[in-house]
């Protein structure tokens, strides 16, 4: 009789212990989701944005183009600027070439593959960043402790962008001509517990040139791509 009661008592203790473990684990998960997960996503988004911008800049640095062929400055006999003509065809060629190249590079980076332009692997195994779990506690001596939480990304659609032109007075009787490429990327930020969407916008100067003379008012060239 005592043995039966002893077994029942042990069984009840085991059940209570299991319930306590499950409840404790649930509290930990709930606490993590309400307090730490927003921090984790903020850090993940920040480093994903850094990664995308770095890849865009690295890839564009290897793209070759003739800056003098992108625009033409028309002057009077006295040397005054009458107008600036942008070569729409060449600017559009540059735009689509750059967007296609960036798109391929980002797809390679998310899978941890070799970049088709630079021939480098930007991120091994597609891991953009690793956050120590202790960092989320905001306790100084735990900042670099605990398991590493990996941050990855996935492209949600093709890279889009546009060419922007600008001319403005610079110094005395000079004008600054600037042609920039604006790149927009929509990506999914992934951690082991959740995902979120991130939209980044990077503006890269393609041409920055100072010319002598004032440029009259004119409608600047504008081109965009919804590729």
Calpha distance 70→77 (Å, rounded): 23
| pLDDT at residue 185 in the model | 95
Domain count of the fold of the chain: 1
Calpha distance 30→10 (Å, rounded): 30
pLDDT digits (tens, 9 = 90+) for 170-212: 877 788 889 999 999 999 999 887 889 999 999 999 999 888 8
pLDDT digits (tens, 9 = 90+) for 113-167: 999 988 889 999 999 999 887 787 777 777 788 888 899 999 998 899 999 998 8
Structure tokens at 64: 């070759």
Q: Is residue 225 domain-resident?
A: no
User: 85 forms bridges with which residues in the sheet?
Assistant: 72
Q: Is residue 224 domain-resident?
A: no
pLDDT digits (tens, 9 = 90+) for 26-39: 555 555 556 677 88
Q: Is residue 221 domain-resident?
A: no
What's the CA angle centered on 74, arms 71 and 79, to 5 degrees?
130
Q: Is residue 223 domain-resident?
A: no
Q: Is residue 217 domain-resident?
A: no
Print the domain residue range for 44. Answer: 8-212
pLDDT digits (tens, 9 = 90+) for 4-56: 456 666 666 677 777 667 666 555 555 555 667 788 888 999 999 999 999 99
Q: Is residue 39 domain-resident?
A: yes
pTM, to two decimals: 0.75
């Amino acid at each position: 009789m005592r043995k039966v009661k002893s077994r029942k008592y042990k069984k009840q203790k085991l059940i209570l212990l299991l319930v306590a473990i499950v409840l404790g684990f649930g509290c930990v998960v709930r606490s993590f989701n309400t307090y730490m997960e927003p921090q984790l996503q903020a850090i993940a988004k920040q480093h994903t944005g850094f990664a995308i911008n770095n890849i865009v800049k690295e890839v564009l640095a290897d793209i070759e183009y003739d800056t003098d062929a992108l625009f033409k400055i028309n002057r009077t006999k006295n040397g005054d600027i009458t107008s600036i003509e942008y070569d729409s065809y060449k600017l559009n060629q540059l735009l689509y070439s750059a967007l296609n190249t960036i798109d391929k590079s980002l797809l390679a980076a998310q899978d941890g593959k070799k970049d088709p332009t630079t021939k480098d692997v930007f991120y091994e195994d597609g891991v953009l960043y690793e956050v120590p779990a202790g960092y989320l506690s905001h306790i100084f001596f735990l900042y670099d402790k605990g398991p590493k939480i990996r941050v990855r990304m996935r492209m949600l659609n093709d890279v889009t962008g546009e060419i922007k032109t600008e001319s403005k007075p610079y110094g005395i009787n000079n004008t600054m001509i600037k042609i920039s490429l604006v790149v927009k990327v929509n990506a999914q930020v992934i951690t082991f517990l959740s995902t979120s969407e991130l939209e980044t916008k990077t503006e890269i100067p393609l041409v920055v040139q100072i010319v002598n003379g004032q440029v009259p008012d004119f409608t600047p060239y504008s081109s965009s791509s919804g590729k």
